A and B are shown apart, each in its own frame.
Chain A
Amino acid sequence: MTALGKLFRTTAFKLSLAYLVVFAIGAGLVLGRVAWNVKALMDEQIGTTIEAEIKGLSEQYTGGGIRRLVNVIEQRIRQPGASLYLVTSFNGQTITGNIDELQPGVLDRPGLIETSYRRTGDTDARDHTHRALARIFVLPGGFRLLVGRDLGDRETLRNVMGRALFTSLAWLVLIGTLGGLFVARRVLHRVDVIGDSAGRIMKGDLTQRIPVSGSNDELDRLALNLNAMLERIAELMTGLKEVSDNIAHDLKTPLTRLRNGAEEALRTARDPDDYRAALERMIDESDGLIRIFNALLTIARLEAGQSGADMAPFDVADVTRDVGELYEPLAEEQGAGLELDAQSGLRVIGNRELIGQATANLIDNALKYGVGDSGGPAQVSVVARRAGANAEIVVADRGPGVSVEDRSRVLDRFVRLEGARSRPGSGLGLSMAAAIAKLHGGQLRIEDNEPGLRVVLSLPLEEEPREQKAAVLALPVAANPRTAS
């Protein structure tokens, strides 16, 4: 497509064309109306003048007869730029006047009339006639008196108006077209720039951004929004890349173990018992892999906010107690201490299963990694408490803790700090707990327990229905026996 063809197809150009047509019609209507009004006004003025003159002349006739009338008229004819006069006898013979020729039949129609005529002494070509507005008045005695005015002025004015209309329309079209083209080109250019940037981004250069002109117009806002969207996409891509790198790395290890186990069994197993043992190890290994996949899937769905999990009110303290109790024998077996302190009445709206899972992850972590430097058993405390408008599940240990630099990193997927790599675990527990906290509108904080690590899962408490409470209190005791008990 040619550049011009492209220009004609732009919305901006089509719009300016449409406006041009509308304005042209508007201007034509206004000018036409003005011209019509001016003509009407002039006609009225001429009519009034003629009327006055006829009145004067008929008074002359009444006072001095036809002779006086003829004298007066001949006098007036001699003045320059004079009106038109004609006096005829009752049978139509000209007595005096400055008109040679008239449209036939005009003299028989009394009243105001527009007609063409030829002035006496006009030496122009025969066909050159003028137009006049005239009034025929029948005098007593059968004489007819015609008084008229040439309409040349009116015609001139009409011509001037016509030319003005034409020129203004021409200018309007010219300026409008040029303006439209200019605007269209400008818009087109910026749209092209956006399109080019999008093209480069689609080719894989995610760092590209759409230039913003700074005028804060619609195109700028569009560009800003697109840029924000690109920013988010780039963020997601980076996250995705990190995750896939981590997945590749962290799944390779168990997969390699799985494969090596199978190979080794094929090579060295001697009897069915050897095979059985190897196969059982491989099943354990694949169960571990499935567990990692499930955790990843859960985190992904939680982070996308699409878990669709049922949200219902429940007491965080109950969940903390349940899960703490679930881990208590394990802690005892390891010789670790597990202190549990949960004050009831921490109602939040959320998914009990997910909060249970998050709490389990935190306790599991504390038991695994909260082992003291001397290698002694872990000392873990699990507390559920109220903190302002939040319910907090605090899991703290007396282990090596997490250095300040590593605190934000430990929430990422698969991050396992030095020293933890040798122990079992997927590095997904804390990221899942963080995702669960986020889904509930809460947060997961990593703090220093001096010494040790303190992880705080903070969840917004269910808003207390104050008005409802007040209403219940306001009721008479007898009406609601439950408030009395």
Chain B
Amino acid sequence: MNYHVNEQGFYGDFGGAFIPEMLYPNVEELRQIYGKIIATESFQNEFQQLLKDYVGRPTPLYFAERLSDKYQTKIYLKREDLCHTGAHKINNTIGQILLAKELGKTRIIAETGAGQHGVATATVCALMGLQCIVYMGEIDIQRQAPNVARMKMLGAEVRPATSGSKTLKDATNEAIRDWINNPIDTFYIIGSVVGPHPYPDLVAQFQSVISKEIQSQLLEKEGKENPDYVIACVGGGSNAAGAFYHFLENENVALIAAEAAGKGIYSGESAATSILGKTGVIHGSKTLLMQSEDGQITEPYSISAGLDYPGIGPLHAHLFASKRAEFIAITDEEAMKAGLQLCKMEGIIPAIESAHALAVLDQKQFDRNDIVVINLSGRGDKDLNTYIDYFNF
């Protein structure tokens, strides 16, 4: 089975570029050239240099001893939370800003939900001296005030998305509309493995540094490249795509995607797309998405702003449909408990998104000698208020 994108931009039945003609020239330009640019030595040199000196890579692969004792298995944490700006998101924005520069674009747009991708985009725009406009749902702007301030300090303009449900999916719609209105000078930096081909593939490629590092770090620590399990949370799915990437073809490595079940899968307040979703088209991609019987896209819910997206990337839809990855739904309660446990047992405050991946430890039985790698995609600073409200600290 092939788990990479084919010539037409599909992963199995999922993917493609379902875009209005207005976007065709931009997306086509990118499609024709992204592979060539990424493969050049000069691009790779600059990308690798920035990942090392600016982002702080490689991030540690940390053996979590106390956690391993408790669950009677070998647990490693891939510390993406130690990246500059606090999450894996910047791996991708560094890659895309270099692409934008190569294409001669002078104006950068992005969408953001919780603000992490917005901050990572504003950061690289400041680094490169490019104009930056971030679309963010009006409701998210109210919920995530510190990240809005960070983006502004970094020189970005934050534009509220006031249409629809005023959250991430609407911010994405607004960014796409901006691109339709500014087809010549503007580059759209998408934050996850979603959107029309080639975005899911190029974002996955930029994030694949995560699994590449896991391989070399495991070789050093365990004398072998491949773990038995890789666990990551999935909203759109960029950190999971990066953590799975180099293991996709090796069926001996079990891949586990933790989805947000919110207040319960069938509570009506959930983001468990693999269970609740049906095949459809969202933001230019054919994938699994949460929708009404009539094909209207519905609003998901999760306590974690980074996981409440109504779809999943087409790669993940394919991994789900082909049973290559196991999808486990984690409730708000399970995630919060697992997040707090990591604070108390390992001295690490995780992002609530990443806490969903940690919660898989309570759902699944591992053998004593299994090597389990959990992608700790981000740190919990941004979630302090949610933690405080939830546990009444």
Chain A bound to chain B = no
Measured CB to CB, the residues of B under 8 A from A are none
